[in-house]
A and B are shown apart, each in its own frame.
Chain A
Amino acid sequence: MNQLSSETFAENAKAALGDAQLRGALRHATTIFGIKRREAAASLSNWEELRSQARAIKDEVLLHLDRYLETFVTNVENRGAKVHWARDAAEANAIITRLTTERGARNVVKSKSMTTEEIHLNAALERAGMQVVETDLGEYIIQLADETPSHIIAPAIHKTKRQVAELFTTELGMPPTDDVGELTSTARVTLRERFATADVGISGVNFGIVETGTIVIVENEGNIRLTTSLPRTHIAVMGIEKLLPRFADLDVFLKLLPRSGTGQALSTYQSFITGTKRNASDEGPEEFHIVLLDNGRSRMLAHPVTRQSLACIRCGACLNSCPVYQQIGGHAYGSVYPGPIGSVITPQLMGIQKAAQLPYASSLCGACREVCPVKIDIPRLLLHLRGEISEKQPSGRRKERLAFKLWAAIMTRPKLYEKTAIAARLFQRWFKLPVRAWTTGRDLRHIEAESFREHWRRTR
Chain B
Amino acid sequence: MNTGDARAEILRSIRTHLAMSSEPQIKMDLFEFPSKKAVPEVVQLFKQNLELVDGNCIVVNSGAEVEETVKRLTEGKKIASPDEPRSDLFKSEVGVTSAQAGIAETGTLVLDSSVDRNRLVSLVPPVHIAILDASRIYTTLGETLAALQSGEELSPAITFITGPSRTADIELTLAIGVHGPQELYVIINQNA
Contacts and interface: CB of A to CB of B under 8 A. Distances in A.
Interface of A: 25, 28-29, 32-33, 53, 56-57, 59-60, 63, 65-66, 69-70, 79, 84-88, 90-91, 94, 135-138, 141, 154-157, 159-161, 164, 180-181, 183-185, 187-188, 191-192, 196, 212, 214, 220-223, 225-226, 229-230, 240, 247-252, 254-255, 262, 264-278, 281-284, 292, 294, 298-304, 307
B7 interface: yes
5 nearest A-B residue pairs (beta carbon): A222-B180, A138-B169, A222-B179, A302-B17, A298-B13
B40 interface: no
Given A90-B1, A248-B31, A137 B178 contact: yes
A408 to B, nearest CB: 29
A164 to B, nearest CB: 5
Interface in B69-96: 82, 86-87, 90
Nearest to A220: B166
Contacts of B87: 196
Contacts of A250: 141, 145
Looking at chain A's contact residues, the main secondary structure is helix
B6 A282 contact: no
Interface stretch (B60-68, B129-137, B153-161): B153-161
Nearest to A262: B168
Contacts of B166: 220-221, 268
Given A188-B177, A302-B17, A303-B20, A292 B10 contact: yes
Contacts, number: 243
B98 interface: no
Contacts of A221: 165-167, 178-180
Contact of B159 (A63, A154, A225): A225
B14 A282 contact: no
Contacts of B117: 281-283
Interface of B: 1-2, 6-7, 9-11, 13-15, 17-18, 20-21, 23, 25-26, 28-29, 31, 33, 49, 53, 82, 86-87, 90, 103, 105-106, 108, 113-114, 117, 119-120, 123-124, 141-142, 145-146, 148-149, 153-173, 175, 177-181
A90 B3 CA distance: 12
Among the interface residues A65, A164, A262, A300, which one has the most CB atoms of the partner chain B within 10 A? Answer: A65
Given A181-B175, A302-B21, 16 more contacts: A29-B171, A91-B6, A157-B172, A161-B170, A180-B171, A180-B173, A180-B175, A221-B178, A240-B10, A247-B148, A247-B149, A268-B180, A272-B158, A276-B156, A301-B18, A302-B20
A344 B53 CA distance: 35
A33 B156 CA distance: 34
B128 to A, nearest CB: 10
B1 A184 contact: no
Contacts of A79: 156
Given A69-B14, A87-B9, A226-B179, A273 B156 contact: yes
Given A180-B173, A188-B179, A283-B82, A137 B167 contact: yes
Looking at chain B's contact residues, the main secondary structure is loop
B10 A87 contact: yes
A358 to B, nearest CB: 22
30 contacts: A28-B172, A29-B172, A33-B172, A56-B28, A91-B1, A154-B169, A155-B169, A156-B170, A161-B171, A184-B177, A212-B154, A221-B165, A222-B165, A226-B123, A240-B10, A250-B141, A254-B141, A264-B53, A265-B162, A266-B106, A267-B162, A268-B165, A272-B154, A272-B157, A272-B160, A274-B154, A274-B158, A282-B156, A283-B113, A283-B119
B154 A63 contact: no
Contacts of A229: 119-120, 123, 157
B10 A159 contact: no
B6 A275 contact: no
A188 B124 CA distance: 11
Contacts of B164: 268
Contact of A283 (B26, B108, B120): B120
A137 B169 contact: yes
A149 B168 CA distance: 15
A164 B170 CA distance: 8
Given A156-B169, A184-B175, A60 B28 contact: yes
Nearest to A181: B175
Contacts of B120: 229-230, 283
A290 to B, nearest CB: 13
A393 B34 CA distance: 55
Nearest to B19: A302
Given A229-B123, A248-B146, A278 B114 contact: yes
B157 A63 contact: no
Given A221-B165, A222-B123, A94 B1 contact: yes
B113 A225 contact: no
A168 B39 CA distance: 50
B146 to A, nearest CB: 7
B91 to A, nearest CB: 11
Contacts of B167: 137-138, 184, 220-221
Contacts of B31: 53, 248-249, 251-252
A268 B163 CA distance: 6
Nearest to A157: B172
Contacts of A191: 179
Given A248-B31, A262-B168, A271 B173 contact: no
A215 B159 CA distance: 12
Given A156-B169, A161-B170, A196 B86 contact: yes
B178 A188 contact: yes
A199 to B, nearest CB: 13
Nearest to A247: B149
A343 to B, nearest CB: 22
B6 A56 contact: no
Given A225-B123, A269-B180, A137 B170 contact: yes
